[in-house]
C-alpha cells in the first residue's frame, strides 16, 4: 500500500508542476451568465459562466463580476491541465488576474514530492486505529 500511495503522490505532484509551469492556453469566450452564491457565515462567491470554449466558468472577485456584462467577449488565459483561470481580459483591459497562483502551488508540490520520496510517511499506529503523518 505504501508504494501505491507514494506513486499517487508523485503523479499528482507531476500534474501540478505541469499545470503550474507549462504555458497558458488563451481563448476567446463570451460571458453567458453571472452566478452569485450568498453565504451567511462568509463572503459571497462570484462566478462567471462562459460559452464558446473549453472553460465553463471561473471564480472571480466582486470587481470583475460587476465589470463584465452578459454577452461581453473576453480573452481568457487558463492553465493547461486543470484549466484554472489566470487572467480575464476585455480588449486590452485586464479584468481579473491570479498573480500568485503559480507560486503558491509550489507548497503542495513540495509536500507531495516529500511524501513520494519517503521523507514524509503515512502510517497506522499499532496501539490504535488512528492514522498519523510523521517526518523522517
CA distance 85 to 101: 10
What are the extents of the domains in the chain? 2-120
pLDDT greater than 70 at residue 21 = yes
What is the residue-averaged pLDDT of the chain? 87
First to last CA, the chain: 19
Q: Which residue has the higher pLDDT, 76 or 119?
A: 76
Look at residue 74 in the predicted model and tell me its pLDDT: 95
Quick: pLDDT tens for 92-121: 999 999 888 888 899 999 999 998 998 887
Mean pLDDT of 117-135: 65
Amino acid at each position: 500500500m505504501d508504494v501505491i500511495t507514494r506513486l499517487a503522490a508523485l503523479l499528482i505532484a507531476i500534474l501540478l508542476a505541469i499545470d503550474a509551469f507549462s504555458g497558458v492556453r488563451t481563448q476567446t469566450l463570451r460571458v453567458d451568465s453571472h452566478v452569485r452564491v450568498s453565504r451567511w457565515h462568509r463572503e459571497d462567491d462570484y462566478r462567471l459562466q462562459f460559452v464558446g470554449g473549453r472553460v465553463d466558468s471561473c471564480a472571480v472577485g466582486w470587481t470583475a463580476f460587476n465589470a463584465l456584462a452578459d454577452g461581453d467577449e473576453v480573452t481568457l488565459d487558463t492553465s493547461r491541465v486543470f484549466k484554472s483561470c489566470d487572467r480575464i481580459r476585455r480588449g486590452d483591459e485586464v479584468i481579473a488576474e491570479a498573480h500568485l497562483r503559480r507560486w503558491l502551488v509550489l507548497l503542495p508540490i513540495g509536500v507531495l514530492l516529500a511524501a513520494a520520496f519517503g521523507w514524509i510517511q503515512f502510517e497506522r499506529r499499532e496501539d490504535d486505529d488512528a492514522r498519523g503523518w510523521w517526518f523522517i
